[in-house]
Chains A and B, each alone.
Chain A
Amino acid sequence: MKQAHQHIDPPKWAERFFEWYCYPPLYDSIIGDLYERFDDNVEQYGQRKANRKFCFDVLRFMNRHTLKRKGQSKFYNNNMSILSNYFKVGFRNLMKNRSFTAINILGLSVSMAVCLVIILMINDQLSYDKWQANSEETYRFTHYDQNEVNIPMATVPMPLGEAMQDKFAGFEHMVTFRRGFGGDVIQNGKAIALQGYFTEPSFFELFSFELERGNPETALSTPNAIVLKKDIAEKLFKDQDPIGQTLEVGNKGVYQVTGVLKEFPGKTHIKFESLVSLSSLDKLEKNKVLGSSIGNWGNGSETWIYFKLRDGYSIETLKGYLTEAEKEHYEPESDEGKEFTLQKMSKITPGPLHGNQIGAGMPNFFVIGLGVLAILIIVCATFNYTNLSAARALTRTKEVGVRKVMGARKGQLTIQFIVESILVSILSLIVAIGLLQFLIPAFQSLQMSSLLEWELKPDLKAYLQFFGFSVLLGLITGIFPSLYLASFKPIQAMKNSVSNSKLSKLSLRKALIVTQFVISIVLIVSSVLVYKQIKFIVEKDYGFSKENILNVHMQGQDFAKFENELEKLPFVESVTATNNIPSMGTEYSDDVKLSDGDETFSMNYFDVDEDYISSLQLELIAGSDFIKGAPSVNKRAAILNETAVKQFGFESPLEAVGKQFYIENDSLALNVVGVVKDYNHMMLIMGIDPMMLRYDPSGFRIAQIKVAGFDIVKEISAIEAVWDEFDPNHEIILKTFQGEIDEFNAFFFDILYIVGLIAILSISIAGMGLLGISTYAIQIRMKEVSIRKVLGASVKGLIFLLSKSLSIMLMIAFIIGFSLAYMANNVWLNQFAYRTSFGFDVFLMTALAMVGIGIATIGWQAWRATRANPAATLRDD
């Protein structure tokens, strides 16, 4: 033998690789042959070539004879039958432990149902514009206003598009949208509101919208041409052919229908009912029907511009031209200044929050927030499963032992228990899909759902996602308990003496439970606070009367005539006019100053008539009301609120009366005739700004009618009758003042609803988790309890003993959770001008909830344990 070459070894990795794949019974004989051959080759060709040949041989040896295989038999494996056995045993085991199974499945399915809704919402959001052929290549211009809040605006000045086309040759298509089109169409004696955008013929080239009727090349080219969405066309014309028909749209003129759009194959972030040729805009702006946007670099809030570049032109070059345009058209550091940016169409919905969106959309932080919430909920439920299965392990030790003796390997046992957890999660999925049928309508009845046009209908793809989700969940939840179960030593397992030290190591499980409770305490406290805050807002004294006041929108009709008609009704106490309803988030303001050269400040105003103060029961603290029947005097009068008095720097309300001030851009001076006590004219989260009441009949858009309120239904129908006679063309828009404010507050109720639901969910999941772990913690101490009982321990003492450690845990969770909740909730509450207090009541409520849960879980289990017959537990020893 050549001893000299004994020390040269073939490449280690190849040896290791061979060992990894080789079927063990063949390993020795083959690797021996390989070594022999290697040594020969070293002698014959040298080490390098021998190495190469060795590696080559190792690779060549891979075939069906030499690969590792499962099972004992060479060519038969019984994986399928063992798998079905796993399912069978798993199912029997679930049936055996009904209470555990119920807790597991209930906890998982409830949280799963919420996750499914969230998956649907996220799917819905992600479906936006995906059907558009150019969704990845289409961009729009956006801008940031200088010296403004840092939210980007989706709109840009209209001349930007043309300016860019002059500078840059790379545009394939560019589409300009301009808002402002809309108004009532009188059709068959009824007014139908129509909304839309001005746009260009290139619309049909850039976007994938198609026409069902009409020619896409010409439909939007001539002035006063209109293209309708299918549903609105059907609404307007019923069975008639819409093409060629004319529509008179509000004060915007007469339009001829040149096309009807096909139903869109998917959702789009561009929300419109109709499209009007951009060439119609010129006349409207000249006649001052609409504000100026053509060629106006100062108006950055009316126009959207979308475009697609030709192949080979880069978006980066365009950015350079945008910076150039900023410098050309805006003075540096001026208030008008804008910074232009770009946004890809596929990134619009869901996308970052933009002002002036072309349609309502959910900003992406909301989508991300929902996702985080889903993960949080599911993590809680996962903890439960892990805890409960680990707890249940005690009852499975014999089975594990027997299986191991029969030759089951650790991997097989792991798979067995993972299969069981997948079984649980699939069962939960079935329950969750059942729950979904109730959850979807509940979510869809939310206000924001209709605003954002949520479509939460699960399709086949969604069901597949659900299934994948539940299998994955089963896998994740099952991994820890199954590794643990599979690690039992057979003899110990059979003797039922699995080391208690291992099982009683509760630290991980305790940490999980504490985390769960911290999360749910934060959520409980938050929902209590959200509830308190909303109640506070709803019940707060606004400073004006809403009682028995009905709001009727004038819809362009003359207020004075309507008032005359109404005053004939016996139950009408007063009728007043205004341009705006207070506390609803809409503000009209002008810049005012005391005299020339003074600093101006922004002052909100309401255009009202002389009955306003008395109808709304505002408190006049100085001066007088508008004078009845003296419009010319009233037109030069203003009534301030206290904040405005302070802002002007008057010493007292009395001093303010009789003073004059000016509205910027208006040389006319207004006389302060009176001062009202501050009331909440802005939405309640805002506070009170300087405000004035002016007398301006041209602003009278809403009639506020105070009625006796004896029989409100009858009174409303009487007013409706008056309206129908007064204006047969328009449907009456009548709402109660209170109803209108409630509707505005409904958004807050939506949030309350969601937060409350999630809080209930998380607390029930956490409660179930605690029930599981207390059952388990007490089970392993049964012998101890029995011995103590035999020795004469009292039931009270035993309950105390058993619940001590878990109660301490609950307390720790409470302290951490409450302090976290305190910090987190103060952040959002401080955003409100009027906020509710944290208060002892919140603390007490949460604490009571915790005590209740503690008694229902730990206490109950401890009580049960102490009631058990000691003879039964001790018999075996």
Chain B
Amino acid sequence: MNSKLGEFEEIVLMLVAAQHEQAYGLSVTKAIEKELKRSVTMSSVHTALYRLEEKGFVTSKIGDAEGNRRGRRKRVFIITSQGKIALKETREARNHIWDMIPKFIFDIA
């Protein structure tokens, strides 16, 4: 199984972790729009979530039907330990790259 974490998937996974046990398709979509000021379609978020599930980074369960959902239940996504490891690894990789950047670059600004 392909367990590489894509860029967009990484963001989605982070948000799933952030909205602990409250993350579902629309909540993640809204968070991306709010935090990253970036427009995104709901279907691409859903797709990313399903793909994360296939890769074993998240699991899903049927949640409540709160909100204007006409009684339809949410599918709530929860990060797995494998997901946490993957998230940490990417974080470390980013930090490592971040550290490679010479300090003076930011001084000019």
A binding-site residues for B, Cβ under 8 Å:
1-2, 5-6, 26, 28-37, 39, 57, 60-61, 63, 65-66
Contact = CB atoms under 8 A, between A and B. Distances in A.
Contacts of A6: 68
Interface of B: 24-26, 29, 41-44, 46-47, 50-51, 62, 65, 67-70, 72-75
Nearest to A26: B75
Given A35-B69, A35-B70, A61 B26 contact: no
Nearest to B26: A33
A16 to B, nearest CB: 15
B47 A57 contact: no
B74 A32 contact: yes
A79 to B, nearest CB: 22
Nearest to B44: A60
Contacts of A39: 68
B68 A65 contact: no
A35 B68 contact: yes
B68 A60 contact: no
A673 to B, nearest CB: 107
A60 B45 CA distance: 11
User: Which of A5, A26, A63, A65 gathers most chain B CB within 10 Å?
Assistant: A65
Contacts of B26: 33, 36-37
B47 A29 contact: no
Contact of B41 (A26, A35, A36, A60): A60
A37 B40 CA distance: 13
Contact of B43 (A2, A28, A32, A63): A63
A607 to B, nearest CB: 95
Contacts of B70: 31-32, 35
B42 A32 contact: no
Contacts of A34: 42
A65 B42 contact: no
Contacts of B68: 1-2, 5-6, 35-36, 39
A63 B47 contact: yes
Contacts of A31: 70, 72
Contacts of A2: 68
A118 B90 CA distance: 73
Please list the 5 inter-chain residue pairs (A to B) with the smallest Cβ-Cβ separation, ordered nearest first.
A32-B72, A29-B75, A32-B69, A60-B43, A39-B68
10 contacts: A5-B68, A29-B24, A29-B73, A31-B72, A32-B73, A37-B29, A39-B68, A57-B41, A57-B43, A65-B50
Nearest to A34: B42
Contacts of B29: 33, 37
Contact of A28 (B42, B67, B72): B72
Contact of A1 (B25, B41, B67): B67
A856 to B, nearest CB: 66
Nearest to B70: A35
User: Which of A6, A31, A36, A39 gathers most chain B CB within 10 Å?
Assistant: A36
Contact of B72 (A29, A37, A61): A29
Contacts of A37: 26, 29, 42
A347 to B, nearest CB: 54
A39 B70 CA distance: 11
Given A32-B65, A33-B25, 15 more contacts: A1-B67, A26-B75, A28-B75, A30-B25, A30-B46, A32-B70, A32-B73, A33-B26, A36-B68, A36-B69, A37-B29, A39-B68, A57-B43, A60-B44, A63-B43
Contacts of A30: 25, 46
A1 B41 CA distance: 24
A60 B46 CA distance: 11
A5 B62 CA distance: 26
Nearest to A40: B68
A37 B69 CA distance: 9
B74 to A, nearest CB: 6
Contact of A65 (B41, B47, B67, B73): B47
Contacts of B62: 28-29
B45 to A, nearest CB: 9
B61 to A, nearest CB: 10
A69 to B, nearest CB: 13
A498 B24 CA distance: 49
A36 B67 CA distance: 7
B46 to A, nearest CB: 6
Given A29-B25, A57-B41, A35 B47 contact: no
A793 to B, nearest CB: 66
B42 A33 contact: yes
Contacts of A63: 43, 47
Contacts of A29: 24-25, 62, 72-75
A29 B49 CA distance: 12
A2 B67 CA distance: 9
A34 B29 CA distance: 12
Nearest to A10: B70
Contacts of B46: 30, 33, 61, 65-66
A37 B70 CA distance: 12
Contacts of B24: 29, 33
A1 B67 CA distance: 7
Nearest to A5: B68
A66 B25 CA distance: 13
B62 to A, nearest CB: 8
A565 B62 CA distance: 115
A26 B62 CA distance: 10
A622 to B, nearest CB: 106
A568 to B, nearest CB: 108
A35 B29 CA distance: 14
Nearest to B66: A1
A33 B65 CA distance: 10
A423 to B, nearest CB: 40
Contacts of A66: 46
A29 B76 CA distance: 9
A28 B24 CA distance: 12
Contacts of B47: 63, 65
A23 to B, nearest CB: 10
A28 B73 contact: yes
Nearest to A38: B68
A32 to B, nearest CB: 3
User: Which of A28, A31, A39 gathers most chain B CB within 10 Å?
Assistant: A28
Nearest to A43: B68
Contacts of B50: 65
Contacts of B75: 26, 28-29
